[in-house]
Amino acid sequence: MEPKFLEVDRETLFLLPPSVQDWLPEGHLARLVVEIAEQLDLRSLKASYAGLQCPDCC
């Protein structure tokens, strides 16, 4: 199996990815969407993917 290496961009302005939370103002619609999405029960969806060979999946 060939090793997988990540590409490096030495011109990147951030050491770590910025947090979207820092960029979105309080009360922004995107915050509500994330809050609702976190409450969804995704067990059946995840179960339908069980056994699939996907190296980049969870």
Q: Which residue has the tokens 């590409």?
A: 7
**Dihedral sign, CA of 38, 40, 42, 45?**
negative
Q: Which residue has the tokens 């990540």?
A: 6
20: nearest Cα among 8, 6, 34: 34
SS3 12: coil
- Encode the chain (58 residues) as per-residue pLDDT tens digits: 676 777 878 787 877 777 878 888 999 999 999 999 999 998 888 888 777 666 555 5
What pLDDT was estimated at residue 10? Answer: 79
Kindly list the distances between the CA atom of residue 58 and the CA atoms of 49, 51, 52, 55, in Å, as whole numbers in the listed order: 10, 12, 11, 8
